[in-house]
Structure 1
Amino acid sequence: MAEKTAQYGWDGSMGISLHDKIREDMKTSMINKDTQVRDTMRLVMGAFPEITVPITLESGKKSTRAKMPEEITDEDIHNIIRKFVKSEKTVLALKKKTSSDYLKLLESYLPKMATTEEIEDWIKSNVDFSVIKSPMQAMGSVMKHFGKLADGNHVKAVLQEMTVNKQAL
């Protein structure tokens, strides 16, 4: 399965929208009779109607409508995939497992998370620890910079590690 899924996945440098890439991968998986990838793509595409925009009806009542395919952004789809990833991680935790082919496939469509080194480099060049009382006060600015590309627990661990190392000097 791992060698089969190597052809699937997405990143922003491909020059294709995530929506189009998912549709393309679904077609490819159907041709290759790769049922696991096909079913995963159907699951993601089946959640597209959940992506809505607020509207105001003629009566003044507020409502929502599903976004048209051309209105769906990569970030909308990333949010759907993150929801499925979170669900799968919960299931795996209950089974006392750490990973699955399904989880790896879903994660291949998400942007790459910031590495520890990238987070440390940004903190060193942008955070002045002499101004703040606690290193955790820097958490907000770090998370604002990295957004969804960094896990809050990971950033917290990096900040704690940096302050421990700084105190040891």
Structure 2
Amino acid sequence: MGLQQTIQEQLKVSLKARDTERTAAIRVLIGEFQRQLDKALSDDQVVAIIKKLIKSESELLSAAGREKSSFIDILEGYLPRQAADQEIRSWIRENIDFSSFANKMQAMKPIMAHFGSSADGATVKRILQEF
């Protein structure tokens, strides 16, 4: 079962449990799914939508002077486990030959291809700058 179907099943569970915050967050997420051209979304597309919603909510909260919300916590629960900094560093050491790139930032493409949605681009960039 894909992430999209899992989230739709979670709506039923949260409705039965009368968890209003989770139900509201899932409904926003499903609404975003329905606004897409493709009705059946891949897990990568679902993750991109979730990250977009989290970023938008974070910007709204920072403008209001607040830091976290339950909406963000609920959405983050659907994201795949993020790779740890040390995990990214060790993979780079083992698999990336910086001499084949004009500059080290060009190594972002193979790194992000390997980690996919389990690594944030800003984190990878910061780690690359440390090398």
Task: Return the TM-score normalized by structure 1.
Answer: 0.68
Contact 1:51 1:76 in 2 (8 A): no
Distance in 1 separating the partners of 2:95 and 2:47: 28
TM-fit CA distance, 1:119: 0.8
CA 1:131/1:21 → structure 2, altered by over 3 Å: closer, same or farther?
Answer: closer
Distance in 2 separating the partners of 1:111 and 1:95: 28
**Corresponding residue of 1:40:** 25
1:19 aligns with 2:7: no
User: Which has a greater percent of helix?
Assistant: 2
TM-fit CA distance, 1:131: 4.2
CA 1:73/1:160 → structure 2, altered by over 3 Å: closer, same or farther?
Answer: closer
CA RMSD, Structure 1 to Structure 2 (Å): 1.9
1:94 aligns with 2:63: yes
The one of 96, 115, 129 equivalent to 2:84 is: 115
Q: What are structure 2's unaligned runs of at least 5 residues?
A: none
1:1-169 mapped onto 2 (5 Å cutoff): 16-53=1-38, 67=39, 71-161=40-130, 163=131
TM-fit CA distance, 1:88: 0.8
User: Which has a greater percent of strand?
Assistant: 1
Task: Return the TM-score normalized by structure 2.
Answer: 0.85
Distance in 1 separating the partners of 2:92 and 2:48: 26
